[in-house]
Amino acid sequence: MRIRPEEVASLVEARHPCPHDLMGLHSVGKGCVVRAFLRDVAICEVLDVASGRTYAMERLDEKGFFEAVLPKVAPFVHRFKVQSATGHTWEVEDPYRFLPTLGEQDLHFLAIGDDHRFHHKLGSHLKSIDGVAGVAFTVWAPHARRVSVVGDFNQWDGRYHPLRRLGASGIWELFIPGLSAGVRYKYEIIGPENPAPFLKTDPCATYFEQAPHHAAVVCDLSSYTWNDRAWMDARSRRDPVRAPLNVYEVHLGSWRRIPEEGNRPLTYRELGVALSAYCREQGFTHVELLPPAEHPFDGSWGYQVTGYYAPTSRFGSPTDFMAMVDTLHQAGIGVLVDFVPAHFPRDAFALANFDGTHLYEHADPRQGAHQDWGTLIFNFGRHEVRNFLVGAALSWLERFHIDGFRVDAVASMLYLDYSREDGQWIPNAHGGRENLEAITFLRQLNALVHHAAPGTITIAEESTAFPGVTRSVSEGGLGFDLKWNMGWMHDTLDYFKQDPVYRRWHHGKLTFGMLYNWSERFVQAFSHDEVVHGKGSLLTKSPQWDLSGKARNLRALLAFQWAWPGKKTLFMGCEFGQPAEWSHERSLDWHLLGIAEHAGLQHLVRDLNHLVLSDGAMSATDFDPQAFSWIRADDATDSILVFERRAAGVTWIVACNFVPFSRDYRIGVTTAGRWQEALNTDSTHYAGTGEGNLGGVDAEPVSWDSRPFSIPVRLPGLSVVIFRRPS
């Protein structure tokens, strides 16, 4: 025997830190030694693949540890020929005969956070090495004393497939021949202090089984054939800042369900077909998915992510998710996803204390614990952590053809004292409150996303006045394309909640937003956050007591949103005025479309979207202050606002009457001729009264509002009317 008993014990008990040093084939003197550790094996022989010759192996431990000392000097390709106690024989590849699947250069760039193909290196990957098919497992666990991969293939026994540590990189690796797609697995880890092993799922897995087990699943992503080349080519040439962007925010599990089948949600493939048809009809350019990454708790809506690289398995496989995106792309609909790098949950099977230490999170709760959500905060100062998150984003772009990200809770990332009292946070190196490491990460994320996939969009949910959110990284900004306009949203909803009798005293809430409107590139968003947690729906925020009045108020609100400069986002159900608060546990109330007021709201949103699309040049001036003018901003007494928007080839006059009394009004214009009534929220088509301007008005040579011409118009109560004239 060439191996000491204590070494056998360390291997059999899975305590050895580098099993490759002893397992497999090794030259010894004028011969070689071969060792194997196999379960449920009575007899084991070494098979010389080239010659077909076999060599008997001595059993050194009853658990299945074998060794053979051979006279052969030169290394040779070998397998094990084994026999069970019942006489069944088969051949087994030796996982310890293969060289590491990562080289020194890979390890170097991973360590310094400069490997932007992180998703190709870490995780589980189907490979063929020396003509042998199998799966390469790679995981970052720098403080672990031992890491094994366990699964169905070894009865979840961590003694049989311990990984090797690759130098000082903290990365552990093993290629297991013979495994294929569909294999379930986890990592069994022994931390630096406690000798008891614990299980973790793969942070970089692309597929997971559903709760409560959360095992990762080896997945063959190459099996899907994409058919969206036309979309992808066009996207690379598109400037998302100047193009129309009408976003439909969707929670996949509750958009539409099938009551005849136990109220089940639609699958990914069903969603692709249904959403693409609906968005095309309604004029939405993109869907934005509440986080589709794997998460254990339905009630988090996806915002507590445990699988950053994997579409949730609730609605199908990763290839099913691909099919959904593909179908949407072929219909001309882009797909944005919510990305959540601000925090992650404490679930024991996932990232928290991953290798027995605070690896992904800060150890100090003043930096590592999120006060509001009970979650953990990523340690953005670690190269590997930033690499992990950037790799996840790039993976969604490359593997799943995603068109961009809405990054959640950016404000909580930017400030070390976010939602903390004095003494509960640690200042940065300069004594300030800014999280410098998170800022570095966000800049890196945006720069690499735009470099990897031109034409993609990044949107910040950022609720403070942090400067330069949508300024380019080269100019010192964070590099986002767009930012949700949280201030405008709160002020506007606050105004529309007021009884019209009192709106004159709140007029400034509608005009204040223009004071900062050009400081960033904004999205006007009414999102899921505004219709949950007791806030009511958009419809029920209206102060009117009857459905007709509430619908009029909501029609005016939505038209005001669409007419205001900037891009648009609307949460599902708001487009037809669902009265109930949104619940992730049930379908939207689609049956309400049988009621005129709800159908009218849906028709209005459709026409607003199509107006933006037909006058596409208007979107190109969303962020141009020279393309906007107030015509009447100070008529608080009558609660009327009038403004003008201009673009190449077209001008809009937007007239808003936010009290329920109709008025005859004169509006100054710069151009003579006929002004088309392009949209009137009081149209009978939207379940309004039909009061309006008979399709348009002619400008008169009457100077008004410091303009040489004017148009006499009828403004129905609680309405927005858009007059349009070609330039």
Contact 449/397 with Cβ under 8 angstroms? yes
Rounded Cα distance between 629 and 642, Å, is 9
- C-alpha 35, offset from chain centre: 46
Contact 535/524 with Cβ under 8 angstroms? no
Both tokens of 201, joined, read 């799922």
Both tokens of 436, joined, read 């410098």
Rounded Cα distance between 530 and 525, Å, is 10
Q: Reduce the DSSP state of residue 302 to 3 states and report it.
A: coil
Neighbours of 580 (CB within 10 A): 15
Contact 54/46 with Cβ under 8 angstroms? yes
Phi, psi of 100 (to 5 degrees): -60, 145
Q: Reduce the DSSP state of residue 152 to 3 states and report it.
A: helix
Neighbours of 52 (CB within 10 A): 7
> What is the helix (H) or strand (E) element at residue 412, kind and residue range?
helix 410-414
Helix axes 268-282, 318-330, angle to 10 degrees: 20
Contact 316/268 with Cβ under 8 angstroms? yes
> What is the helix (H) or strand (E) element at residue 80, kind and residue range?
strand 78-83
Nearest to 453 by CA among 116, 125, 115: 116
Where do we find the tokens 């026409």?
607
- In b/e form, how buried is each residue of 106-120, taking b as 16+ CB within 10 angstroms? bbebbbebebbebbe
Contact 163/139 with Cβ under 8 angstroms? yes
Residues identified as active-site: 408, 461
DSSP string, 221-273: GGG-----HHHHHHHHH--TTTS--EEEEE-TTTS-EEGGGTTEEPPHHHHHH
Rounded Cα distance between 328 and 679, Å, is 28
Length of the chain: 727
DSSP string, 98-126: SPPSS-HHHHHHHHTT--TTHHHHSEEEE
Nearest to 48 by CA among 94, 26, 83, 79: 79
- What sign for the dihedral angle of Cα 394, 278, 299, 406? positive
DSSP string, 650-702: EEEEEEEE-SSS-EEEEEEESS-SEEEEEEETT-GGGTS---S-TTEEE-BS-
Q: Residue 358 pairs with which residues in a beta bridge?
A: none
Rounded Cα distance between 242 and 625, Å, is 14
DSSP state of 380: T
Q: Residue 80 pairs with which residues in a beta bridge?
A: 46, 92
